[in-house]
Amino acid sequence: MNILRPTCVLVLTMLTACTHTWVDTKYQQADRFATWVDATPSPYRLLAGDDISVVLPFNVELNYKGRVAPDGTIAMPFAGNLPAAGQTLAQFGETVNRALATNGMTANAHAIVAVTQTAAHIFVGGEVGKPGELALTPGMSVMQAVITAQGLLDTARTGEIVLIRRSPDGRPMLRTVDVKALTQQGDPAQDIVLQSNDTIFVPKSSIAEVDLWVDQFINKGLPFQKNVNYDINGARSF
Spacing of C-alpha 77 from chain mean position: 34
pLDDT 10s digits, 151-187: 988 888 878 888 998 887 778 888 888 877 777 777 7
Indicate the helix (H) or strand (E) that contains 65. strand 64-67
pLDDT 10s digits, 41-68: 678 889 999 999 999 999 999 999 999 9
Contact yes or no for 124/134 (Cβ under 8 A): yes
Domains in the chain: ranges and CATH: 25-40+120-218 (3.10.560.10), 51-117 (3.30.1950.10)
Q: How confident is the model at residue 106 (pLDDT cuts 50, 70, 90)?
A: very high
